[in-house]
Amino acid sequence: MEFVRLEVADGVATIRLDRPKMNAISFQVQRELREAAAEASERDDVRAVVLWGGERVFAAGNDVKEMADLGYAEMVQASASVSSATTAIARIPKPVVAAVNGYALGGGCELALAADVRFAAEDATLGQPEMLLGIIPGAGGTQRLSRLVGPSKAKDLIFTGRFVKADEALAIGLVDKVVPAAEVYDAALAWARQFAEGPAFALRAAKETIDRGLEADLETGLEIERQQFAALFATEDRALGMSSFVESGPGKARFVGR
């Protein structure tokens, strides 16, 4: 891959965007994000993922120059690529944290929204400015943003296209933690590392149950939870965790990921 790298160390994968100057998300970057997400999903030595654009910028949006001359017929075909890259990140069956330095705008903000949690630099700027181009977010922004911060706040951000600084992003729930710019990646990495030796199937079940449950009514969500809960009794980690609790108390189990 040319613009997206996947690096693994100590059970944590870093999916790193690196397309100078502003990590604009082109169709090629979208394809490479899908490839990186698939690899992170499949590798047994990956227990959690950090999504990072580097110290300067997370991603300043989709590549507008690439889309500017496309008509309706072409975008009908291309729109699947636009949304499927963020969907691929969202469907990684492991904890994913976005480490946001600099700008996360448009498609970059949508990419951050696809993570499970978001850590932002004190000087980070987020937003969905697509309205200023005469379009709407097309990579999940209208859906994930409204589910995260509520419909009225999402409508304010999307209707106006205004930028949001880190302190406001934290206040409305768009990001989960704000730290000094130099510490963003390390803070995200520390969060991810706590799962490196965790119960892999239980983490996967928790993520899937929450995500699928949010897409359904309460009764259906509870049934999804019941099935996933029961299924975990077939795992070795469940036996290890419960026997460790009985013998030594909570928090001392050594899981094996099976």
Strand-by-strand arrangement of the 117-121 sheet: 4-9, 12-17, 48-52, 96-100, 117-121, 177-179
pTM recorded for the entire structure: 0.93
Domains of the chain: 4-193 (3.90.226.10), 200-248 (1.10.12.10)
pLDDT tens-place string over residues 207-233? 999 999 999 999 999 999 999 999 999
> Of the residues 39, 110, 122, 183, which is catalytic?
110
Task: Please give the chain's pLDDT, 258 residues, in tens.
Answer: 899 999 999 999 999 999 999 999 999 999 999 999 999 999 999 999 999 999 999 999 888 888 888 899 888 888 888 889 999 999 999 999 999 999 999 999 999 999 999 999 999 999 999 999 999 999 999 999 999 999 999 999 999 999 999 999 999 999 999 999 999 999 999 999 999 999 999 999 999 999 999 999 999 999 999 999 999 999 999 999 999 999 999 888 899 989
Annotated catalytic, 122?
Answer: no
C-beta neighbour count of 123 within 10 angstroms: 12
197 as an active site residue: the answer is no
Catalytic hit among 66, 130, 223, 236: 130
